Amino acid sequence: MSPKKEKGSNNRYKARLKVAKLHAKIADCRKDFLHKLTTQLVRENQTIYTETLAVKNMMANHKLAKAIADCGWGEALRQLEYKCQWHNRTIGAIDRWFPSTKRCNPCGYILDKLPLEVREWTCPSCSSLNLRDLNAAKNILAVGQTVLACGLSSSGDMSLTDLAILG
């Protein structure tokens, strides 16, 4: 092997190492973000309900979507579960069929459909202006509290694609 080639492959190796280090750094950063997020959620809330939604719904929040896609939904839920246990919080899951997004929280009216790009909508029944994510979170809270109050078990399917943040 000529010295030139050796040098070339050495440079390639260095470049590859650089890329690998960068990927590791990004992964660490996302892991860190996910840990901070789940810790904050558990600290600030006595009860947390989770809901399964289509992954595309989460793409609206780019930073969150990337962090969770990188670590996996299972990891986000795993962190929430053990942190809830540590801090004596309640955690529950809502069945995926529940129309949390399309249901008007103030009056219960359910829209036929609500395209993803619509971030807020006015209820045709009661004229309330509903912010998409906040309205959905309120619905999830209401169902979660009902399930809790009635002592019913919620869905066993715990794949997490959305968080309802409850104060």
81 to 96, 99, 100, 125, 155: CA distances (angstroms): 19, 24, 22, 38, 15
Among 125, 131, 146, 157, binds Zn ion (CB under 5 A): 125
Number of residues that bind Zn ion (CB under 5 A): 7
Chain residues 60-119 in contact with Zn ion, contact rule CB under 5 A: 104, 107, 109
CB of 135 to Zn ion, least distance (A): 10
Q: How many CA atoms lie within 13 A of 83 on its CB side?
A: 21
Choose between 33 and 109: whose C-beta lies nearer to Zn ion.
109
Give the DSSP letter of residue 104.
Answer: -
Of 5-13, 17-25, 123-131, 145-153, which part binds Zn ion (CB under 5 A)?
123-131
Q: Which two tokens stand for residue 128?
A: 């309330």
The packing angle between helices 3-44 and 62-71, to 10°, is 110
Chain residues 141-160 in contact with Zn ion, contact rule CB under 5 A: none
Residue 123 sits in the site that holds Zn ion (CB under 5 A): yes
Which positions lie near Zn ion, rule CB under 5 A? 104, 107, 109, 123, 125-126, 128
